[in-house]
Amino acid sequence: MKIKSILRNISRHSMFFPITCLIIVLVINLIKTPTFFHVSINNGVLYGYIIDILNRASELVILAIGMTLVVACSGGTDISVGAVSAVAGAITIYLLVGPMSSGDYRMPYVLAILLGLLGAVLCGMFNGFLIARLKIQPMVATLILYTAGRGIAQVITQGFIIYVRKEEFKYLGNFIPGIPVPTPIIIATIVLILTNLLLKKTALGLYIQTVGVNRRAAKLVGLNSSLFIFLVYAFSGLCAGISGMIITSRVYSIDANNAGLNIELDAILAVAIGGNRLDGGKFSLAGSIVGAITIQALTTTLYAMKVTADQLPVYKAIVVVFIVVIQSSEFKRYIGKLLSRITKHGDRKQVEV
């Protein structure tokens, strides 16, 4: 009995679902590749499957942080994040080297990055304005930049794939000489820590949940819901910008068509696997992070099974549908009805016997 109740408590914990998902994926990998958990140091940097997964999950972790807050506060999702990443990357690289992939920087590196991030934040603010002020459904509002974003990025790059031929540019997306940990992991960790500080050391985290749980009651305790909804979309834009920087630095180039492609689905998926309700309210940042890592692990696994990047969305779409169906209260109701019918049926049989 005691074990049973402990088990029940564990299974009810908010982190139960995401961690179970992660463990399942990891175990599958461990069976396939016994060396899965090995970590070694090659050429002065950390090396191994696990490091690779964490490294490649970094952009997603950052996006998932923004997406979690968007979902919690507004009960909607931001599907423009992939396109906004491309816009931010395009701005920064274009400002740095111009359209012709020339060798020299045209402006200070840091300034170009800040301007790229500014562009992303402006995109987020545009979304936020449409949603908070004009009360447009979040999905529809972000659909505008979802499509137009890549067009804007194309216009900035003038349709070229622009390369940056400077070693320092690769630092953000790869390694900084002398540091064994991949830079994206460091950046994701910093973003996570700063966001967590912001949410836990100020009242922001509480406000966001309050607005997400009951907007009418939030108004009566004096909270300005529109303001917070606007802010989370702006923040989601910032997160998209940061991951845009990592994405472009990884391949030291910007391809407006493909930078951050399909990553919005992964981000939404991360939030859902993290045990967060997609209609808003209480959120778990940790859950979303575990969700993001799980998805990257899944992606890596699927790649290892010779699934191409083009085909990946099929499997992820199935997982999304599976999760939202499980979360759906109507589904639970149907199942409940079905179960009660079965048990009733069983009872009747017993009577007959």
Partner 1 sequence: MNNEVILTMRGIDKKFPGVTALSKVDFTLRSGEVHALMGENGAGKSTLIKVLTGVEALDGGEIRIKGVDHPVVNSSPQEAQKYGISTVYQEINLCPNLSVAENIFLGREPKKWGRIDWKTINQKATEILDVFQIEIDVTKPIENYSVAIQQMVAIARAVDISSKVLILDEPTSSLDEHEVEKLFSVMSKLKDMGIGIIFITHFLEEVYRISDRITILRNGIRVGEYETNSLPRVQLVAKMMGKEYDELTTIKNVGSYEAKDYEDKLLETEQLGRMGSIKPFDFLLHKGEVVGLAGLLGSGRSEMSRVIYGADRADTGQAYWKGEKIAVHAPMDAMKIGMAYLPENRMVEGIFPELSVRENIIIALQAKTGIWKLMSSKEQEAFADKYIELLQIKTPNIDAPIKNLSGGNQQKVIFARWLLTNPELLILDEPTRGIDVGTKTEIQKLVLELAGQGKSIIFISSEIEEMLRVCSRMVVLRDGNKICELSGDELGQKQIMETIAGGDISGEN
Partner 2 sequence: MIRRFREKIDPNTFLLLITITLFVLMYIAGILIFRDKHFGRVQVFLNLFISNGGLIVAAVSMTMVLISGGIDISIGSVVAMTCMLLAWMMEKQNIGIIPAIIVVLIIGVIFGFFQGLLIAYLKIQPFIVTLAGMFFARGMTAIISTDMISIKNEAFLKIANAKLYFPFGGYVNRSGDIVYPYIYPSVVIGLVVLLLMFFVLKYSKFGRSIYAVGGNEQSALLLGLNVRLTKLKVYVLNGFFAALAGFVFCLNTSGGFVEQAKGFEMEAIASSVIGGTLLTGGVGNVIGSIFGVLIKGTIETFITFQGTLSSWWTKIVIAALLCFFIVLQSILGSSKDKKGKISKDH
Q: Which residues bind partner 2 (CB under 8 A)?
A: 77, 79, 130, 134-137, 139-141, 143-148, 150-152, 154-155, 158-159, 262, 265, 268, 278, 308, 310-318, 320-321, 324-325, 328-331, 334
Among 12, 201, 306, 349, binds partner 1 (CB under 8 A): 201
How many whole angstroms separate alpha carbon 283 and alpha carbon 281?
A: 6
Q: How many other CB atoms are found less than 10 A from the CB of residue 251?
A: 17
Query: Is position 223 an interface residue for partner 1 (rule: CB under 8 A)?
Result: yes
The token pair at 124 is 């987020």
Q: Binds 135, which of partner 1, partner 2, none (CB < 5 to 8 A, cut-off by type)?
A: partner 2
Q: Binds 223, which of partner 1, partner 2, none (CB < 5 to 8 A, cut-off by type)?
A: partner 1
Q: Binds 115, which of partner 1, partner 2, none (CB < 5 to 8 A, cut-off by type)?
A: none
Q: Are 72 and 233 in contact (CB under 8 A)?
A: no
In the bound state with partner 1, the residue whose beta carbon lies nearer, of 203 and 339, is 203
CB proximity list for 14: less than 8 A, separation 6 or greater: 275, 284, 287
In the bound state with partner 1, the residue whose beta carbon lies nearer, of 143 and 213, is 213
At its nearest, how many Å lie between partner 2 and the CB of residue 157?
Answer: 10
Query: Is position 234 an interface residue for partner 1 (rule: CB under 8 A)?
Result: no
Phi then psi dihedrals of residue 253, to 5 deg? -165, 165
The token pair at 24 is 């399942």
At its nearest, how many Å lie between partner 2 and the CB of residue 280?
Answer: 12
How many whole angstroms separate alpha carbon 269 and alpha carbon 324?
A: 10
In the bound state with partner 1, the residue whose beta carbon lies nearer, of 90 and 132, is 132
Give a three-class secondary structure readout of 233-293. HHHHHHHHHHHHHHHHHHCCEECCCCCCCCHHHHHHHHHHHCCCCCCCCCCCHHHHHHHHH
Query: Is position 222 an interface residue for partner 1 (rule: CB under 8 A)?
Result: yes
Residues forming the site for partner 1 (CB under 8 A): 200-204, 206-207, 209-210, 213-214, 216-224, 281-282
